[in-house]
């Protein structure tokens, strides 16, 4: 086959193109075109940036419009109606409960055994004893007891109503026990002494009567208690009067002071015994011993009868207490003051 190609012509289908190096003219021409392109893009970029700013402002205005409209209220109402918050909290609590349930449980028996072993350890006991008796513990205790906070707390505790009530209950309980023991011993003395004397005189026993009359022992203890109360009231009243009189130089002369003291003592005794006998039928001492004075009608004596009985009591005491001897032999255990005023003293049947 004959080749029809002309000589000197290269077939481009067989020989690949080879990139020829650019000349200096071409290089300068390309750099010029690049600078021209960059200058042409500057306005485009400026326009793009301005567009973005305009879009941002437009988005802010649109968001303000949405928030000013009814959309937030509608969203909040939907959250409440569908209990979104409650369901979320429930799911969180259930997840926490599941985690707690799946966590390994503490072996209580093992912990108790370890604590018991630690307490039974002699070394631990020795260390604890040394710590308690150490100088640091003593100094710390001194600092605590001397601190204002501890004193304030102690004062609040001691002055609290609960502590006062406890002290009152303890005091009342002690007083009641002492009074009950005194009553038992006094009544036992009444029976034992009078039984011997009545046996010698061949007289019937006092406890054979339906109404238990109070004997010498019980009435003597009640009178002693009343004497203590009257003396206390007189001493306190006299001290107050003397204190007031000392502001003006005291009571002069001496016989006047003695006379005022005697009158004051008489008034205190009369008001004390007559007042209690005529109103409630018993003095504080008689109340402690659970005895009561009654008239012939079975009631508390009146004021005049009580005053007459007080005179008989004074006479019985002045006669070296011999006025109480008739109570040892009388069927109703009446003493001199009871014969004078027509009264009797009985054991109080009230609890």
- Tens digit of pLDDT for each residue in 201-215? 777 665 555 558 998
Task: Look at residue 265 in the predicted model and tell me its pLDDT.
Answer: 92
Lowest-confidence segment of 20-34, 49-63, 151-165, 336-350 by average pLDDT = 20-34
Q: Mean pLDDT, to the nearest integer, of 271-279?
A: 96
Q: What is the pLDDT of residues 85-122, one digit of tens each?
A: 677 667 767 776 666 555 555 566 777 777 777 777 78
Task: Look at residue 35 in the predicted model and tell me its pLDDT.
Answer: 58
What's 299's DSSP letter? Answer: S
Strand 291-294 versus strand 344-347 pairing type: antiparallel
Percent residues over pLDDT 70 in the chain: 64
- pLDDT category at 345 given cuts 50, 70, 90 is very high
Lowest-confidence segment of 102-106, 135-139, 157-161, 343-347 by average pLDDT = 102-106
Whether the ω angle into residue 113 lies within 30 degrees of 0, i.e. cis, is no
Q: Tell me how far CA of residue 235 lies from CA of 96, 229, 293, in angstroms.
A: 77, 10, 27
Helices (H) and strands (E) in the chain, counts: 13, 2
How far apart CA 51 and CA 41 sit, in angstroms, is 15
Rounded to 10°, the helix 148-158/135-146 angle is: 60
Task: Look at residue 288 in the predicted model and tell me its pLDDT.
Answer: 92
Task: Look at residue 196 in the predicted model and tell me its pLDDT.
Answer: 82
Task: Look at residue 47 in the predicted model and tell me its pLDDT.
Answer: 47
pTM of the model: 0.52
Residues in CB range of 301: below 8 A, 6 or more apart:
277, 278, 281, 293, 294, 295, 309, 341, 343
- pLDDT category at 75 given cuts 50, 70, 90 is low
Residue 346 near residue 214, CB atoms below 8 Å = yes
Lowest-confidence segment of 37-46, 73-82, 191-200 by average pLDDT = 37-46
Nearest-5° Cα angle at 199, 193 to 200: 95
Question: For residue 71, how many C-alpha atoms fall within 13 Å in the half-sphere facing its CB?
Answer: 8
Name the CA dihedral angle for 85, 91, 96, 99, rounded to a multiple of 10 degrees: -160
Task: Look at residue 8 in the predicted model and tell me its pLDDT.
Answer: 46
Q: What is the pLDDT of residues 4-14, one digit of tens each?
A: 544 444 444 44
Residue 296: is its pLDDT beyond 80? yes
How far apart CA 182 and CA 184 sit, in angstroms, is 5
What's 21's DSSP letter? Answer: P
Q: Phi/psi of residue 27, each to 5°?
A: -60, -45
Task: Look at residue 317 in the predicted model and tell me its pLDDT.
Answer: 93
- pLDDT category at 224 given cuts 50, 70, 90 is very high
């Amino acid at each position: 086959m004959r080749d029809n190609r002309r000589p000197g012509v290269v077939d481009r289908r067989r020989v690949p193109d080879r990139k020829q190096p650019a000349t200096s003219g071409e290089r300068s021409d390309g750099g010029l075109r690049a600078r021209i392109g960059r200058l042409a893009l500057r306005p485009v970029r400026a326009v793009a940036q301005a567009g973005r700013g305009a879009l941002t402002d437009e988005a802010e205005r649109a968001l303000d419009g949405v928030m000013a409209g009814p959309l937030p209220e509608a969203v909040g109402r939907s959250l409440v109606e569908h209990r979104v918050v409650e369901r979320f909290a429930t799911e969180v609590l259930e997840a926490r409960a599941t985690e707690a349930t799946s966590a390994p449980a503490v072996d209580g028996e093992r912990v108790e055994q370890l604590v018991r072993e630690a307490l039974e350890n002699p070394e631990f006991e020795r260390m604890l004893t040394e710590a308690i008796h150490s100088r640091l513990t003593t100094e710390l205790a001194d600092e605590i007891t001397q601190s204002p906070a501890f004193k304030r707390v102690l004062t609040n505790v001691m002055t609290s109503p609960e502590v006062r009530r406890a002290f009152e209950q303890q005091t009342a309980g002690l007083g009641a026990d002492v009074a009950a023991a005194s009553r038992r011993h006094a009544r036992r003395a009444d029976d034992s002494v009078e039984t011997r004397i009545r046996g010698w005189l061949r007289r019937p026993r006092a406890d054979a009567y339906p109404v238990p009359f109070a004997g010498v022992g019980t009435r003597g203890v009640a009178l002693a208690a009343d004497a203590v109360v009257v003396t206390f009231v007189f001493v306190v009243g006299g001290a107050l009067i003397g204190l007031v009189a000392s502001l003006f130089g005291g009571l002069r002369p001496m016989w006047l002071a003695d006379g005022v003291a005697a009158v004051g003592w008489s008034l205190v005794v009369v008001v004390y015994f007559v007042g209690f006998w005529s109103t409630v039928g018993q003095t504080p001492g008689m109340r402690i011993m659970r005895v009561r004075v009654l008239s012939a009608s079975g009631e508390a004596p009146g004021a005049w009868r009580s005053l007459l009985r007080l005179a008989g009591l004074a006479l019985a005491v002045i006669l070296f207490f011999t006025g109480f001897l008739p109570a040892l032999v009388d069927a109703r255990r009446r003493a001199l003051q009871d014969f004078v005023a027509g009264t009797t003293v009985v054991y109080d049947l009230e609890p």
